């Protein structure tokens, strides 16, 4: 069946942070698409059909009946979605595509390096792995400026308690004394990534976020000696 562009109503919106919103788009009745966790959809408003933006799905393929994207107030589309999208609004959705897909194999370890809203596809990875009770190890290494910028903090902490194979680690690049942050500070660096790699041959690396972070992650991983096939990236541009 050809994948068709569908108009979907906003079913739910959730402010994750003051500048970041999750938008749930309800599938039409009878719609039952085949898609993969980690793919992205492309959205546009009915009144601006030439103006499209792609967003990674923050929901996983086991979440049926809707797609969720988690959007930062960024640019014209990001601002409109965060500040104005409300329940009942309709958006056109180009179906999920993309190859930023988790390799769910029991002996594998997925090391997921994220910056800012680049963490959103990893929520989907962990959700699916947790619900399916998979033995695949998943470690998220997440870089934010301050603790208040952590997206899905409580959901990731909750998933950690449900899934013994999942670990969520955060580093703050600009933590202030008043943040009372007791976790790691500074940028993602090679030593921090290396710390989480026990068996390089069975580790898959994922990086999603601003280009400098993703390029840095790629360089680090190749320096480790991992082949290209063990690294997947999603750049924002």
Partner 1 sequence: MSNVPADLKYTKSHEWTRVTADVPGIATVGITDHAQHELTDIVFVELPEIGRRLKAGEACAVVESVKTASDIYCPLSGEIIEVNKSIVNDPALVNREPHSGGWFFKIKFSNAAELDSLLTPESYEAQIKG
5 touching partner 1, by CB under 8 A: no
Q: How far is CA 92 from CA 1, 7, 47, 162, in A?
A: 19, 4, 10, 35
Q: Which of 76, 90, 132, 194 binds partner 1 (CB under 8 A)?
A: 76
Asked if 188 touches partner 1 (CB under 8 A), the answer is no
Binding mask 206-235 for partner 1 (x = CB under 8 A): -----x---x---x---------------x
With residue 22 as reference, give the H or E element that holds it.
strand 20-26
Question: Looking at beta carbons only, is 69 or 129 nearer to partner 1?
Answer: 69
Q: Which is nearer to partner 1, 138 or 231 (CB)?
A: 231
For the chain, report the end-to-end CA distance as a whole number of angstroms.
32
Shortest distance in whole angstroms from residue 172 CB to partner 1:
23
Find the binder of partner 1 among 38, 78, 102, 121 (CB under 8 A). 78
Q: Could you tell me where the DSSP H helices lie in 43-152?
A: 75-84, 120-131
Kindly tell me which residue out of 50, 154, 180, 182 binds partner 1, with binding defined by CB under 8 A: 50
Q: 19, exposed or middle or buried, with CB in 10 Å at 0-12, 13-18, 19+?
A: middle
Place of tokens 């990731």: 156
3-state SS, residue 161? helix
Task: Name the strand (E) or helix (H) holding 195.
Answer: helix 190-195
Query: Is residue 61 close enough to count as binding partner 1 by CB under 8 A?
Result: no
Query: What's the closest the beta carbon of residue 146 comes to partner 1, in angstroms?
Result: 21
CA–CA distance, 29 with 32 (Å, rounded to integer): 9
The CA angle 75-80-85, to the nearest 5 degrees, is: 150
- Smallest separation (angstroms) from partner 1 to the CB of 213: 13
Q: Which of residues 26-45 bind partner 1 (CB under 8 A)?
A: 42
Minimum CB–partner distance for residue 128 and partner 1 (Å): 23
> Does 237 help bind partner 1 (rule: CB under 8 A)?
yes
The binding site for partner 1 (CB under 8 A) comprises: 42, 50-54, 74-78, 211, 215, 219, 235-237
């Amino acid at each position: 069946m050809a994948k068709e562009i569908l108009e979907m109503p906003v079913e739910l919106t959730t402010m994750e942070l003051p500048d970041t919103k999750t938008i749930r788009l309800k599938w039409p009745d009878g719609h039952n698409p085949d898609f993969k966790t980690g793919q992205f959809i492309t959205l546009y408003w009915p009144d601006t059909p030439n103006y499209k933006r792609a967003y990674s799905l923050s929901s996983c393929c086991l979440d049926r009946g809707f797609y969720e994207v988690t959007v930062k107030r960024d640019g014209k589309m990001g601002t409109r979605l965060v500040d104005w999208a409300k329940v009942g609004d309709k958006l056109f959705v180009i179906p999920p595509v993309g190859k930023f897909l988790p390799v769910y194999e029991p002996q594998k370890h997925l090391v997921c390096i994220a910056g800012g809203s680049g963490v959103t596809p990893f929520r989907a990875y962990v959700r699916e792995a947790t619900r399916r009770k998979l033995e695949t190890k998943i470690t998220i290494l997440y870089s934010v400026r301050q603790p208040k910028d952590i997206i899905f903090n409580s959901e990731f902490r909750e998933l950690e308690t449900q899934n013994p194979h999942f670990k969520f680690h955060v580093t703050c690049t600009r933590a202030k004394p008043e943040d009372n942050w007791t976790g790691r500070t500074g940028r993602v660096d090679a030593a921090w990534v290396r710390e989480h790699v026990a068996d390089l041959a069975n580790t898959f690396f994922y990086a999603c976020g601003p280009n400098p972070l993703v390029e840095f992650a790629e360089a680090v991983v190749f320096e480790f000696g991992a082949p290209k096939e063990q690294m997947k990236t999603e750049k924002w541009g």
